[in-house]
A and B are shown apart, each in its own frame.
Chain A
Amino acid sequence: MAWILRNLWLIPALPTLAAGISALLPQRRRAMSAGLAIGSMSLSLLLALCAFAHTLAEPARQVFNFRWMQFGAEWVSLGWVLDPLTAVMLVMVTFVGLLIFLFSVGYMAHDENFTRFFCFLSLFSGAMLGVVIANSLLLLFMCWEIVGLTSYLLIGFWYQRPSAAAAAKKAFITTRIGDLGLLLGMVWLYGQTGTLLFYDHGAGCMEHGALSLLTAQTTSIGMAVSTAIGLLIFCGAVGKSGQVPLHVWLPDAMEGPTPVSALIHAATMVAAGVFLVARTYPLMSASLPDAASAATTALQVIAWVGAITAVFAALIAVAQNDIKRILAYSTVSQLGYMMLGLGVGGVAVGMFHLITHAFFKALLFLGAGSVIHGCSDEQDIRRMGGLRRWMPVTFATYAAGMLALCGFPLFAGFWSKDEILHAAHGWSISQGPFYLGAFGALLTAFYMTRQVCYVFFGRYRSGAAHTADAQHAHGHDHAAHAASKPHESPAVMTVPLTILAVFAVLLGFAGTPAWPWFASFLGGEPLSLDFRRFAENGILPLMLASSLIVIAGLALGWWLYGRKPVEDADAPDVLERAQPGIFHALQNRLYVDEFYSWTIIRLARWGAVLSDWLDRRVWNGVVQLVAWTVRACGWFDASVDSYVVNAGFDESCRGVSGSGRFFSMLQNGQVQRYLRTVGIALAVLMVLLLWSRRG
Chain B
Amino acid sequence: MSGAPWITLLTLLPLAGGVAALITRSARAARWISAAFGGAALLLTIALWHSFSPASGILQFQERHAWLPALGLEYHVGADGLGLLMLALSAIVVLMSIAASWKNEEHGALYYALVLFLEAGLFGTFTALNFVHWFLFWELSLIPAFFLVRLWGGPARARAATQFFLYTMVGSVALLLAFLLLFLATGSFDFIDLAGLARNGQLSGLLAQNLHWPGWSGDEIAALICCGAFLGFAVKVPVVPFHTWLPSAYAEAPSSTTMLLTGAMSKMGLYGFLRVLLPIFPAQMQHLQTPLLWLAVASIVLPAFAAWAQTDLKRIFAYSSINHLGYCLLGICAVLRVTGANTALAAEKAAAMNGVLLQMFNHGLTAAALFWFVALLERRSGGLRGLDDFGGLRKAAPVFCGLMGIALFSSLGLPGLNGFPGEFLIFKGSFPLTPRAASISVLGLLMTAVFLLTILQKVFSGPLSERWAAFPDLTTAERALLLPALALMLVLGVYPQLILSLVNGTALQLVSQLRF
Instruction: Please determine whether A159 and B438 come into contact, CB atoms closer than 8 angstroms.
Output: no
Compute how far the CA of A110 lies from the CA of B165 in the bound complex, rounded to whole angstroms: 57
B470 at the interface (CB under 8 A from A): no
- Chain A residues with Cβ below 8 Å from B439 are 184
**A158 → B minimal CB distance (Å):** 10
- Chain A residues with Cβ below 8 Å from B445 are 176, 180, 183
Instruction: Please determine whether A146 and B414 come into contact, CB atoms closer than 8 angstroms.
Output: yes
Instruction: Please determine whether B415 and A141 come into contact, CB atoms closer than 8 angstroms.
Output: yes
A residues 68-87 with Cβ under 8 Å of B? Answer: 68-74
Instruction: Please determine whether B461 and A156 come into contact, CB atoms closer than 8 angstroms.
Output: yes
- Chain A residues with Cβ below 8 Å from B309 are 608-609, 611-612
> What does DSSP make chain A's interface, helix, strand, loop or mixed?
helix
B450 at the interface (CB under 8 A from A): yes
B143 at the interface (CB under 8 A from A): no
Compute how far the CA of A604 lies from the CA of B447 in the bound complex, rounded to whole angstroms: 9
- Chain B residues with Cβ below 8 Å from A74 are 347, 350-351
Which chain B residue has the least Cβ–Cβ distance from A143? B415
Instruction: Please determine whether A622 and B428 come into contact, CB atoms closer than 8 angstroms.
Output: no
Instruction: Please determine whether B508 and A69 come into contact, CB atoms closer than 8 angstroms.
Output: no
Instruction: Please determine whether A169 and B428 come into contact, CB atoms closer than 8 angstroms.
Output: no
Compute how far the CA of A72 lies from the CA of B428 in the bound complex, rounded to whole angstroms: 13
A555 at the interface (CB under 8 A from B): no
- Chain B residues with Cβ below 8 Å from A149 are 409, 414
Q: Write out, one digit per residue, whether chain A residues 511-554 have a CB within 8 A of any chain B CB (1) or not (0).
A: 00000000000000000000000000000000000000000000
Instruction: Please determine whether A619 and B241 come into contact, CB atoms closer than 8 angstroms.
Output: yes
> What does DSSP make chain B's interface, helix, strand, loop or mixed?
helix
A177 at the interface (CB under 8 A from B): yes
Quick check: which of A186-194, A268-276, A296-304 contacts chain B, the rest being far away?
Answer: A186-194
Quick check: which of A160-168, A350-358, A390-398, A405-413 contacts chain B, the rest being far away?
Answer: A160-168
Which chain A residue has the least Cβ–Cβ distance from B442? A180
Taking beta carbons and an 8 Å cutoff, which residues of B are in contact with A?
Answer: 167, 240-241, 243-245, 247, 302-303, 305-310, 346-351, 353-355, 392, 394-395, 402, 409, 414-416, 420-421, 424-425, 427-429, 431-432, 435, 438-439, 442, 445-447, 449-450, 453-454, 456-457, 460-464, 496-497, 500-501, 504, 507-508, 511
A residues 172-206 with Cβ under 8 Å of B? Answer: 172-173, 176-177, 180, 183-184, 187-188, 190-192, 194
**A491 → B minimal CB distance (Å):** 32
A-B contact count (CB 8 A): 161
Instruction: Please determine whether B454 and A169 come into contact, CB atoms closer than 8 angstroms.
Output: yes
Which chain A residue has the least Cβ–Cβ distance from B409? A149
- Chain A residues with Cβ below 8 Å from B464 are 160
| The residue from A71, A145, A608 contacting B354, defined by CB atoms under 8 A apart | A71
Taking beta carbons and an 8 Å cutoff, which residues of A are in contact with B?
Answer: 23, 68-74, 138, 141-143, 145-146, 149, 152, 156, 159-162, 164-166, 168-169, 172-173, 176-177, 180, 183-184, 187-188, 190-192, 194, 471, 604-605, 607-612, 614-615, 618-620, 622-623
Compute how far the CA of A149 lies from the CA of B351 in the bound complex, rounded to whole angstroms: 27
**B245 → A minimal CB distance (Å):** 8
Instruction: Please determine whether B416 and A146 come into contact, CB atoms closer than 8 angstroms.
Output: yes
- Chain B residues with Cβ below 8 Å from A184 are 427, 431, 438-439, 442
Instruction: Please determine whether A604 and B305 come into contact, CB atoms closer than 8 angstroms.
Output: yes
- Chain B residues with Cβ below 8 Å from A23 are 402
Compute how far the CA of A363 lies from the CA of B453 in the bound complex, rounded to whole angstroms: 32
**B507 → A minimal CB distance (Å):** 7
Instruction: Please determine whether A138 and B461 come into contact, CB atoms closer than 8 angstroms.
Output: no
Compute how far the CA of A622 lies from the CA of B167 in the bound complex, rounded to whole angstroms: 13
- Chain A residues with Cβ below 8 Å from B453 are 152, 169, 172-173
**A41 → B minimal CB distance (Å):** 20
Instruction: Please determine whether A165 and B425 come into contact, CB atoms closer than 8 angstroms.
Output: no
Instruction: Please determine whether A72 and B305 come into contact, CB atoms closer than 8 angstroms.
Output: no
Instruction: Please determine whether B431 and A610 come into contact, CB atoms closer than 8 angstroms.
Output: no
- Can you list 13 A-B pairs with a CB-CB distance of less than 8 A? A68-B496, A69-B500, A70-B500, A72-B351, A145-B420, A164-B461, A172-B453, A183-B427, A191-B431, A608-B307, A610-B305, A619-B240, A623-B167
Q: A71-B425, A172-B449, A610-B305 are in contact. Are A623 and B395 (CB under 8 A)?
A: no
Q: A184-B442, A187-B427, A608-B308 are in contact. Are A69 and B496 (CB under 8 A)?
A: yes
Compute how far the CA of A72 lies from the CA of B446 in the bound complex, rounded to whole angstroms: 29
**A245 → B minimal CB distance (Å):** 16
Compute how far the CA of A192 lies from the CA of B431 in the bound complex, rounded to whole angstroms: 11
Tell me which of A74, A146, A162, A611 has the highest count of chain B C-beta atoms within 10 A of its own C-beta.
A611
| The residue from A173, A194, A610 contacting B347, defined by CB atoms under 8 A apart | A194
| The residue from A72, A73, A152, A611 contacting B306, defined by CB atoms under 8 A apart | A611
| The residue from A146, A159, A190, A619 contacting B461, defined by CB atoms under 8 A apart | A159
